[in-house]
Amino acid sequence: MKTQEELGVPVPANKPLIVRTIKYVTKEQREYALEKTEYSMFSFPADLIFVDFLSDSGSGTMTDFQWAALFHGDESYARNKGYYVLLEAVRDTFERGDDPKKAINLILTGETDVKRLMDELYITSYEGGFVNGGTHQLVRPNAFIVPQGRCAEHLLFSTIAPILKQKNKDITYYIPNNGHFDTTEANIVANGIKAINLFSENLLDDFPYNEMDRRNPFKGNIDVKGLENLIQDKGVESIPLIYITITNNTAAGQPVAMKNIKEVHKIAEKYDIPLFFDACRFSENANFIKEFEEGYKNRSILSIVKEMFSYVDGFTISFKKDGLANIGGGFFFKDRGVFHRKFSIDEDIGIKLKERQILTFGNDSYGGMSGRDIMALAAGLYEVIQEPYLNERKSQVREFARKLAQNGIPVILPAGGHAVYLNMDKFFEGSDMRLEDLGGVGFTIELLKNYGIRACELGPFAFEWDKKTPQQRKGILNLVRFAVPRNVYSASHIDYAVAAITELYHNKEKIPKVRISRGAELRLRHFQTGLQPIYND
């Protein structure tokens, strides 16, 4: 008889004990709301939606463990207890592998032994890793809590831009990535640096849907040859950082292989350039490595995460993704590592970052977060590395993609970690829809109007195709994304979405072209412009 693991379906990882009733809204009501909100996905009231795949960011369900932790939130202005718990959780998650200390339990179990609390939590001393502790964090700050990922990006790029100018004001700087997320790119560009996407060459290769459980080509990898060429071409001095995004959200949520991380680490080391992760979905990425990369099957997620992070010099992170938290972000860099050496010119770079953090977000021990949110986030870090949870999540996204593929929908395969992406070039193949007609946007409007399902175009509209040079346009894919929030939806939500998407695919001639009716020139425009679908009848 098969074991529970051999049944071919994941062992259930949790059960929902609170439910939220979804309102029954008619097509006509949504049509009216769409018209009044300029057909923008970002302006449509969430309460009127049946199934919301706009983002997996901050939209997940928290566990009872997190809610319990939230009650221990401490809103003290300086050095709230959650600060210490979170720093310990970050060390446990990214540095300690199979030997986590779980100091959070001291708080959750009501420890009253003051000496123990001081020795294990409040008056500790760490140096040499991503999170200095005690006086080392005061003298050489290297851990920065902020409300979300883009705040970490802003903090980092706005702090290093003047330093780069000071180093050499006459050259153009480039930051390569396997796929910059839109806010990362926008923060880089806003600081006068150029953002380069080096997608893996196999990204749009066909992949049979019935092999998703058997192999994975790690299409999220950075193009290593392209990276070497860029460094050679522009010169080492022009590349202040190399970034790897795990998983690669802009490239269809595809995972990055440990082999690729190691190769890039070697290049970074050779040229003495700091290598950073955009670590938003680190545990989902680690789970792909465990399942598909040779030599990792019997390793724990924590030990894989530890190895991944041993190759980088720092990371920005939005804890709203893998962290299972509703809010949170951070920036961490290795104590006295390459970044620290390269950017501490007149003054310690950590001190500069901390000043900016205090100016924009708040004291370093809360960084713009509430004490409650800090505790929920710290607890979340212990939840997201649990394998039953990760396996069930991965399987849900994979099933979503498999069902679409079985219905002939052009979905990018294999499925990524957090979302399913449709290839809109293929979707509209044979029709007169051109890239500039924003067919992907038209599709999302029809899906919301007819079926109450929200998705997000990540293509020529979101990435502002019309404002880019022919060279930059090569870095833009034409996708629509269905991001699956964590622990929110069941198979019935997915089945409803698959049926709706399939119906629309078979009626694609009814999908309107879309015109930008207001604010085409705005930056980050998919959040703020008005749209007008052009219906033929």
d(CA 474, CA 471): 6
Residue with smaller CB distance to ligand F0G, 10 or 330: 330
Residue with smaller CB distance to ligand F0G, 103 or 256: 256
Residue with smaller CB distance to ligand F0G, 255 or 512: 255
Instruction: Quote the least distance from Cβ 79 to ligand F0G, whole Å.
Output: 24
Residue with smaller CB distance to ligand F0G, 212 or 317: 317
Instruction: Quote the least distance from Cβ 331 to ligand F0G, whole Å.
Output: 12
Instruction: Quote the least distance from Cβ 297 to ligand F0G, whole Å.
Output: 27
Query: Pairing state of beta strands 453-454 and 51-52?
Result: parallel
- Give the position of tokens 């290297």: 142
d(CA 172, CA 268): 19
d(CA 210, CA 402): 8
Residue with smaller CB distance to ligand F0G, 306 or 321: 321
d(CA 261, CA 311): 7
Instruction: Quote the least distance from Cβ 133 to ligand F0G, whole Å.
Output: 25
- Give the position of tokens 């022919």: 470
Q: Kindly list the residues in this chain that would bind ligand F0G in the complex (CB under 6 A).
A: 55, 57, 148-150, 181, 183-184, 245, 249, 278, 280, 318, 320, 329, 483
Instruction: Quote the least distance from Cβ 245 to ligand F0G, whole Å.
Output: 5
Find the DSSP H helices in 172-222: 182-190
User: Per-residue DSSP letters for 335-379?
Assistant: TTSHHHHHH-SSS-HHHHHHHHHHHHT--TTTTT--HHHHHHHHH
Task: Find, among 357, 334, 358, 331, the residue nearest to 344 by Cα.
Answer: 334
Residue with smaller CB distance to ligand F0G, 150 or 372: 150
Residue with smaller CB distance to ligand F0G, 97 or 253: 253
Burial of 91 (0-12, 13-18, 19+ CB in 10 A): buried
Residue with smaller CB distance to ligand F0G, 136 or 525: 525
* Token digits of residue 382: 């212990």
Instruction: Quote the least distance from Cβ 319 to ligand F0G, whole Å.
Output: 8
Residue with smaller CB distance to ligand F0G, 103 or 420: 420
- Tell me phi and psi for residue 196, to 5 degrees: -115, 130
Q: Which residues contact 366 (CB under 8 A, 6 or more apart)?
A: 77, 80, 83, 145, 374
- Give the position of tokens 């050496």: 341
User: Does the CA dihedral 428-434-437-441 come out positive or negative?
Assistant: positive
Residue with smaller CB distance to ligand F0G, 97 or 368: 368
Instruction: Quote the least distance from Cβ 52 to ligand F0G, whole Å.
Output: 11
Residue with smaller CB distance to ligand F0G, 337 or 368: 368
Instruction: Quote the least distance from Cβ 55 to ligand F0G, whole Å.
Output: 3
Instruction: Quote the least distance from Cβ 44 to ligand F0G, whole Å.
Output: 15
What are 316's strand-pairing partners?
Answer: 278, 331
Instruction: Quote the least distance from Cβ 458 to ligand F0G, whole Å.
Output: 9
Instruction: Quote the least distance from Cβ 322 to ligand F0G, whole Å.
Output: 10
d(CA 447, CA 459): 17
* Token digits of residue 255: 């995972």
DSSP state of 469: -
* Token digits of residue 398: 């994979």
d(CA 477, CA 465): 10
What are 176's strand-pairing partners?
Answer: 196
